[in-house]
Each structure stands twice: as structure tokens, then as C-alpha cells.
Amino acid sequence: MADTGEAENGVGAAPKGTVTQRAIEQIKAMIAEGRLEPGQRLPTERDLAARLGISRSSMREAIRALTVLGVLEARHGSGIYVTQLEAGDLLETFGVVADLSRGPRLVELLEVRRVLESTATALAAARITADQLAEVEKHLTAMNVTDDPEEILAHDLAFHRVIAGAAGNDTMAAILDGLSSRTFRARVWRGYEEEGAFARTRREHAAIHRALVARDPEAARAAAAAHVGEVEQWLRTQLREQL
């Protein structure tokens, strides 16, 4: 193994970017090409570093980067593994966008959510199972018997999560999950709920549930779009007033 063989390396010597960046691309490529399967264990950090001719520190940075991206998973004392590469794993970082966005971008995010949530709810109306519907009802009633904002928020999230799951598109569900991250909603709702929006929210949720029971996709789409749209419009006016 003349690893980075100094003289004759020819093409491979393309010094593009940092060595860490290169390592990231190489590992990503290995997975994309199927040389690394989901769940499979990678060589040790020390091995990988030696193999690519870089130091362990640099390799660790590459691994850390792929870890936060949800591509790899490091288990202390055991080894490094490729995740299952499922939608949830890879789209976890989507929450960061929601958490760090402010001002106009919050409206944009809600607009995206409105589009996706209404579609997901419509799909769910056609595909939801009895069990899933029962769970939706569970969160709906739980939301109505308490006044603790924290609890309401939790059941609200779960309510939509079950519906998104019933739509049968894990990728869409994962994106919606990110768009509804706890901190994101908490920030927006802090003001929203203080305007007597609780009652309205409950009405809207009931409408969504009704459409699901009736297995009416169009009604479900409309109800979901209206639900998100309410918050969206409220946020728009909020932003306008702040300026």
C-alpha cells in the first residue's frame, strides 16, 4: 500500500479542500456505491485514518460530521456503524433549520409545512387504519382535557405525527417532524396561544379528525391547510407589527 505515495500518485493527488472534507466525501461515496451497507460496521478510526493516509484527528472530524448528518453512528467501546439510512435518521438535521430560523423565514417554513401537511393529511384520510385512527382520537381528547400548555403541545405534535405516519410516506413524515420541532413550535405558540387560540385550535383539530373518520381526502386537505394557515397568517401579522 503506497498509500499517498508521494511521487507517482498521479491523479488521486488532487488537493481539493481539506483532508477532512475529502474523507467525508470518500466515506459518503462508499455508502452511495453500496460498498458499505446500512447497519454495517466500519473499520476502526485508526484503521480508516491509516487507510486514507490521514491522521486520526482528521478522520474523527469526518466521522463526527457524518454522525451529525445521521449517516454514521458511533458506539463508545464498540465501533462505528452505518445507520439504517432511513428518512428519520437523515432528516433529523432538518430541525436545526427550524430552530435557527427567525423572522420571515418562519413564515416560509410554515408555508412549506402547510403544503406538505395538507397533502399528508389528505393521503392519511384514504389510508389510515383503525388503530391509527384510535390513536389520533386519543391525542385529540387528551388535548381537550388539560390546560397545561406543555401537555397540549405534546399531544398536538403527536396528533399530527400519527397522521403524517398514516400517510405512508416516511420521508414526508420526517420532514414534517423537523418542521414541527419542539422548540420551533414552542417559540411560535408562545404568543399564539395567548390570543384565545386554544378554542380555535381545538375546533380545527376536530375538523381534521372528522375528515379522517369520513375518509374524505379533500375535506382533510382543506382542514389541514386551514389549520396551518391560521398560524401562518397570525405570524405574518405579528411580523408586520414588529416592524
Which listed option, a second copy, DNA, none, makes contact with residue 68 (CB within 5 to 8 Å by class)?
Answer: a second copy
Furthest C-alpha separation in the chain: 74
Angstrom distance (rounded) from CA 38 to CA 36: 7
Could you tell me the end-to-end alpha-carbon distance of the chain, in angstroms, rounded to an integer?
63
* From 11, 34, 76, 147, residue interacting with DNA (rule: CB under 7 A): 76
- Interacting residues toward a second copy by CB under 8 A: 20, 24, 28, 31-32, 57, 60-62, 64-65, 67-69, 71, 85, 87, 90-91, 93-94, 96-97, 99-101, 105, 108-109, 111-112, 115-116, 119, 169-172, 175, 183
Strand partners, 85: none
Rounded least distance, CB 243 to DNA, Å? 33
Q: Return all residues near 165 (Cβ < 8 A) that are at least 6 apart.
A: 132, 173
Which segment (58-66, 137-145, 151-159, 186-194) binds DNA by CB under 7 A? 58-66
Integer-rounded Cα radius of gyration of the chain: 23
Rounded least distance, CB 91 to DNA, Å? 22
Identify which of residues 170 and 216 has a Cβ nearer to a second copy in the complex: 170
Burial (CB count within 10 angstroms: exposed 0-12, middle 13-18, buried 19+), residue 110:
buried
Rounded least distance, CB 128 to a second copy, Å? 17
Rounded least distance, CB 150 to a second copy, Å? 18
**CB distance 53 to 3 below 8 Å:** yes
